[in-house]
Amino acid sequence: MERKDDGRLEGRTAIVTGSTYGIGEAIAKVLSSEGAISIITGRTEKEGERVAEEIKTAGGSAEYHHLNVTDEEEVAEVTRAVYEKYGRIDILVNNAGIGGPSKPTHEYTREEWERVFDVNVTGAFLCSKNVIPYMKKGGGGNIVYISSIYGIVGSQDNPAYHATKAANRIMAKTGANIYAKDKIRVNSVHPGFIWTPLVEDFLKDQSEKLGVAIEDLRSELDAAHPIGHIGEPEDIAYGVLYLVSDEAKFVTGTELIIDGGYTSR
């Protein structure tokens, strides 16, 4: 993703959690291509440095910070370091998340359930909590929660994951109401099936359970979308770009569904 001169986010600083691969990586690259300084965060240094280097090679600005979103001290340290270096934090994308076991609710252990909530909900809370004071100092900003279509509709698998994504949706709406007076807009994005390691792992799991080839499962998944195929990480990244840009100055507390028509059926 090559840098565009005089981009829509020129000079703004964007923290993207869980941006060492998949949707988060695509978001960081798209934001940087429009002039933002992308702060790559995650727990895998090698992949984080790779993403940052690819952004810089394309003419953008980026740096990597190790970040476990469940560690409040580390979240505070990273956000403080970014603010002290750049004097502003304009954008936070709460993307970091895990899937959790795909099994019925009654088969979950409490530890399994709480682990998913710890990353997907508490992690997003900690990042927002620490970033918002800096946004208030800077006169505004944008927060985007990466939720899921399963934060809106139900399904027969991954109950903990889906519950956390519903929480992310309401966290965005609540934040939008609380911080509108501070010129902080808060929205949620709801991806459908996007070809990421998370979806690939899900199909592998289903392939083993059902004894069906993963290629056949992928074809079935493609056919379930009116548009004819599942999405790519960049499809979500461009939705985020719109929400954090000035073109969306009247958009807050909303949910942007990007799912190839999956939930329209």
Would you name the residues annotated as active-site residues? 161
| CA-to-CA dists, residue 86 to 78, 79, 265, angstroms | 12, 11, 46
| CA-to-CA dists, residue 83 to 30, 93, 114, 142, 243, angstroms | 21, 16, 31, 15, 22
* Residue pair 236/258 in contact by the 8 Å Cβ criterion: yes
At 140, list the tokens.
């505004």
| CA-to-CA dists, residue 50 to 45, 121, 131, angstroms | 8, 27, 25
| CA-to-CA dists, residue 228 to 195, 218, 260, 262, angstroms | 14, 11, 8, 10
